[in-house]
């Protein structure tokens, strides 16, 4: 296979054999190093997407790779019929950094959402024996593509072809406490939201809103489920975004950077939910929490601590915000910036298609992605430095002319 047609050959192979549910960029990524990716033709890309907020530690990290190789040589899978050492260690670390009570490991963020919804339903069922409880979710939210996760995803375009979805779901306006209050009934068992909305357009919860919802939940014995799948694991400069607000959920979902590339997720329960919901036989998974996935989780937490990732994010994100604000002020295609830490969105001016900006950036060797209908999203590896921000800004200015 010649270099001239190497990429196209693999693109054609994918199009012929993989179900067409993605409109992919016409490049074949082959390897990565640090905060850069390389395609099959050796073109270099500065990565400000991190596999959609996954590869927090960057690519080809030797310590991370060695930890996985070591576990592969021991055992990859045993099933949950048995205990395994990496899962025990990873669960302990996740409980310690969250301050919560119990962990259930899944294979993905979507599965974590499914588990969290089951926790809420079982918690309410244990109280009154009823099966007609309701969950309040948020408009413009995104929680995944399975039927359960779709049911609490506040975007009709994802849902329409797959109805009827799970019943008993209501929607409120994010950052509007009164709209949440209006949806609460004596059947409400949970309120679910992202601490920072991702796919919907990079909207952080206001402190007043999140604290107000938590107070409502405590008052009425409703479970608060916070989706930290994208905004958690250090992305906002805190291990989990809710920690900045001082609002601990009853159930938290996480995934993406939890394993930094190895597919793994979790839902984490506070003491109240852990003691009064799922028991043996209520939930399960063949692969969830297997030794390879949880070895990755262990190493991620280790490296976060050793390298002081959270303080690094706080420092570099301040620089990123300043440079993005300067960019917005100097070009016509963006109107504002919003976000937290290394989860940032640039809102496009009216008539500007964010997809066009993403495509132009890709041509110049920069990977960014979209969010919502009018936002260019930046969720880079957490190990980026100021020089990488400068490199990104230079490309964005060039394509903004």
pLDDT at position 22:
93
Q: 295 and 326 share a domain?
A: no
Q: Minimal CA–CA distance to 291: which of 67, 105, 70, 75?
A: 75
Place of tokens 């979902």: 253
- Same structural domain, 171 and 47: no
1 domain residue, yes or no: no
- For residue 133, the model assigns a pLDDT of 98
Residues 295 and 315 in one domain: no
Report yes or no on 255 lying in a domain. yes
Domain containing 337: what range?
6-61+308-399
Q: What is the pLDDT of residue 2?
A: 54
Q: What is the mean pLDDT of each run of 10 residues along the chain (401 residues)?
A: 74 95 94 97 96 98 98 97 98 98 98 98 97 97 97 94 96 98 98 97 98 98 98 98 98 98 98 98 97 98 98 98 98 97 98 97 98 96 98 97 81
Provide the pLDDT for residue 6: 85
Last residue in a domain, options 264, 285, 306 = 306
**296 and 327 together in one domain:** no
* Residue 68, in any domain of the structure: no
Nearest residue to 361 (alpha-carbon basis) of 331, 327, 399, 390: 399
Write down which residue in 306, 322, 357 finishes a domain.
Answer: 306
CA dist 317 → 117, 141, 199, 236 (Å)? 33, 24, 20, 8
The verdict on 194 and 181 lying in the same domain is yes
Same domain, 297 and 330: no
Same domain for 321 and 232: no
Which residues 6+ apart lie within 8 Å of 254 measured at CB? Answer: 109, 112, 228, 229, 232, 233, 240, 265, 266, 267, 268
Q: What is the CATH number of the domain that holds 22?
A: 3.90.1150.10
Tell whether 193 and 247 lie within a shared domain: yes
Instruction: Tell me, yes or no, whether 67 lies in a domain.
Output: no
- One domain for residues 299 and 315: no
Q: Are residues 251 and 382 in the same domain?
A: no
145 and 222 both lie in a single domain: yes
Domain for residue 69, yes or no? no
Residue 155 belongs to domain with CATH number: 3.40.640.10
Paired residues of 190 in beta bridges: 135, 223
Residue 178 within a domain: yes
Q: Which of 330, 398, 389 is CA-nearest to residue 363?
A: 398
How many domains in the chain?
2
- Domain end point (choices 275, 306, 337): 306
Closest CA to 195 of 157, 235, 159: 235
Are 175 and 244 in the same domain? Answer: yes
Residue 36 corresponds to which tokens in the numbers above? 């850069």
């Amino acid at each position: 296979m010649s270099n001239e047609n190497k990429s196209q050959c693999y693109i054609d192979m994918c199009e012929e054999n993989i179900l067409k549910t993605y409109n992919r960029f016409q490049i074949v990524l082959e390897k990565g190093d640090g905060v850069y990716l390389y395609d099959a033709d050796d073109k270099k890309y500065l990565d400000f997407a991190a596999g959609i907020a996954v590869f927090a530690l960057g690519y080809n990290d030797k310590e991370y790779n060695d930890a996985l190789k070591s576990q592969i040589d021991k055992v990859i899978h045993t099933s949950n019929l048995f205990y395994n050492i990496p899962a025990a260690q990873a669960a302990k670390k996740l409980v310690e950094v969250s301050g919560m009570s119990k962990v259930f490991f899944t294979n993905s963020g979507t599965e974590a959402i499914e588990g969290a919804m089951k926790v809420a339903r079982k918690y309410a069922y244990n109280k009154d024996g009823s099966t007609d409880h309701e969950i309040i979710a948020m408009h413009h939210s995104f929680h995944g593509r399975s039927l359960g996760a779709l049911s609490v995803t506040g975007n009709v375009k994802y849902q329409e072809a797959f109805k009827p979805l799970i019943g008993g779901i209501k929607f409120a306006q994010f950052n509007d406490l009164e709209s949440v209050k209006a949806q609460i009934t004596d059947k409400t068992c949970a309120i679910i939201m992202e601490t920072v909305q991702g796919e919907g357009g990079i909207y952080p919860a206001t402190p007043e809103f999140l604290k107000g919802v938590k107070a409502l939940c405590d008052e009425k014995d409703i479970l608060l489920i916070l989706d930290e799948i994208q905004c958690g694991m250090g992305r906002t400069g805190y291990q989990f975004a809710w920690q900045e607000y001082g609002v601990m959920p009853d159930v938290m979902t996480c995934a993406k950077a939890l394993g930094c590339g190895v597919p793994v997720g979790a839902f984490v329960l506070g003491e109240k939910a852990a003691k009064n919901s799922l028991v043996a036989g209520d939930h399960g998974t063949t692969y969830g929490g297997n030794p390879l996935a949880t070895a990755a989780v262990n190493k991620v937490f280790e490296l976060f601590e050793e390298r002081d990732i959270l303080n690094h994010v706080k420092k570099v994100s301040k620089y990123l915000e300043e440079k993005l604000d300067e960019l917005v002020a100097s070009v016509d295609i963006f109107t504002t910036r919003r976000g937290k830490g290394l989860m940032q969105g640039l809102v496009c001016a009216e008539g500007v298609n964010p997809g066009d900006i993403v495509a132009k950036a890709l041509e110049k060797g920069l990977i960014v992605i979209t969010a919502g209908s009018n936002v260019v999203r930046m969720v880079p590896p957490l190990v980026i430095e100021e020089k990488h921000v400068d490199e990104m800004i230079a490309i964005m200015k060039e394509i903004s002319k």
